[in-house]
């Protein structure tokens, strides 16, 4: 079993780039600068980002869906058992294009406000 995975790292003000990271929780935390949060794209890929980025005032990075991701994040594959796995060349190419634009933010965007969603069952 490999100890590293190949991810696509996206930092504020920089083009996305491929990086090998250790395949463990603490390494993921180091890459995003704190506690991690994840969301899936529905295609076997996951964005891993800092859960407290907006609260901690991290720099706005990229728009994604109806939100703005602040701070550095990375994209990796989603393994069958929930583990992070390496991206394929095709996935790297797709998400490199998806996040290629280095966006400019005024700081006044409503999406930059921290928010919580409560879901009741």
Range of the domain at 92: 4-106
For residue range 77-86, list pLDDT tens digits in order.
998 888 899 9
**Phi-psi sector, 100: left (phi>0), alpha (psi -120 to 50), beta:** alpha
What pLDDT sits at residue 65? 85
65-79: string of b/e by CB count within 10 Å (b at 16+)? eeebbbbbbbbbbbe
In a domain, 118, yes or no: no
What pLDDT sits at residue 116? 63
Looking at the whole model, is its pTM more than 0.85?
Answer: yes
In a domain, 18, yes or no: yes
The tally of domains found in the chain comes to 1
Mean pLDDT estimate for the chain: 90
For residue range 57-115, list pLDDT tens digits in order.
999 999 998 889 999 999 999 988 888 999 999 999 999 999 999 988 877 777 887 76
In a domain, 120, yes or no: no
- Cβ count near 19 (within 10 Å): 13
């Amino acid at each position: 079993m490999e100890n590293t995975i190949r991810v696509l790292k996206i930092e504020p003000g920089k083009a996305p780039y491929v990086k090998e990271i250790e395949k463990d929780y603490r390494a993921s935390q180091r890459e995003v600068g704190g506690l991690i949060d994840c969301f899936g794209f529905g295609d076997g890929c996951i964005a891993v980002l800092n859960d407290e980025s907006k609260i901690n005032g991290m720099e706005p990075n990229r728009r994604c869906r109806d939100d703005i991701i602040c701070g550095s994040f990375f994209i990796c594959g989603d393994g069958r058992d929930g583990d992070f796995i390496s991206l394929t060349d095709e996935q790297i190419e797709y998400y490199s294009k998806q996040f290629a634009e280095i966006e400019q933010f005024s700081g006044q965007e409503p999406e930059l406000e921290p928010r919580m969603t409560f879901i009741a069952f």
